[in-house]
Amino acid sequence: MPLLGAHDSILAIGAHFDDVELGCGGVLAKAASRGCHITILVMTSSSYTHARGEIVRTAEAAYDEGVAAAATLGVTDVRCLGLGNMNLRWEGDTVAAIEAIMEEVRPAIIFTHWPFDTHQDHHYGSLATLSAARYFSSILMYDPMFPSGRSYHPFRPQVYFDITDTLDAKIAALRCHASELRKYGDNWLDAVTARARYRGYETGAQYAEAFEAVRLQVRL
Ligand SMILES: [Zn+2]
């Protein structure tokens, strides 16, 4: 039974450019090819300066990389709240900004971070999304990715999507994030592929993405 119809809207939310591609890029590529309207919402500017003072990524470069990555998945609607990287807050203004976009898009499914992710932006970004989404019926939290997602709490995969047909698009999207690729190298992409294979193995597919459900409305 399909969770998504061809005319459904999807809202995929991440704290930084690249989070959504890592967490649910395969699902988004598949849904885009079926005609779903997809909005990617990035909460922070994603600019990053290393503690040594070296600029790893400007906000402009992060945005350009994110738009190119989204296009690789077949997604053209990319929004950015431009909030401070590494300082995301779970507070009223952030919740209201997310809520306004949810009201506009009316998503059938919302994808967001898992709140036990150890990156503070992922953690608070997830909580702000859950606050904003209180009137929506289907919210799935994506599998956290090392290094940021290492946690004291176990991720419990509950909902799987077969992404065998779109793993290549997911990896191509991640390759658009040149500043991340410089930081982590091809090992990063190998690990993403290995995780997709592992999640696929768990559910009888070649490659899959897994999610924890906050709640899920199933239509007959
Ligand atoms: Zn992130």
As a whole number, mean pLDDT of residues 44-51 equals 85
Task: Kindly report the CATH class assigned to 9-215.
Answer: alpha beta
Determine the average pLDDT of the residues in 27-45.
Answer: 97
Closest by alpha carbon to 188, among 215, 148, 156, 129?
Answer: 148
What local confidence, expressed as pLDDT, does residue 62 receive?
Answer: 93
pLDDT of residue 2: 64
Q: How far is the CA of 146 from the centre of ligand 1 (A)?
A: 10
Closest C-alpha to 48, from 119, 129, 130, 128: 119
As a whole-number percent, the residues of the chain with pLDDT over 70 amount to: 99
Of all residues in the chain, what percent carry a pLDDT higher than 90? Answer: 84
pTM of the model: 0.95
Distance 53 CA to ligand 1 centre (A): 20
Ligand 1 center from residue 160 Cα (angstroms): 21
Tens of pLDDT, residues 100-154 = 999 999 999 999 999 999 999 999 999 999 999 999 999 999 999 988 888 999 9
Once rounded to an integer, what is the mean pLDDT over residues 174-184? 91
pLDDT of residue 47: 85
Tell me how far apart the alpha carbons of residues 180 and 70 are, in angstroms, rounded to a whole number: 15
Residues with CB under 5 A from ligand 1 (ion): 15-16, 19
What are the extents of the domains in the chain? Answer: 9-215
User: Could you tell me the distance, in angstroms and rounded to a whole number, from the CA of residue 1 to the centre of ligand 1?
Assistant: 32
Which strand (E) or helix (H) includes residue 192? helix 186-203
Angle subtended by helix axes 19-33 and 167-175, to nearest 10: 130
Residues 195-201 have a mean pLDDT of: 98
**What does pLDDT average to over the chain?**
94
Residue 219 banded pLDDT, cuts 50, 70, 90 = confident
Give residue 51's pLDDT band: very low, low, confident or very high (50, 70, 90).
confident
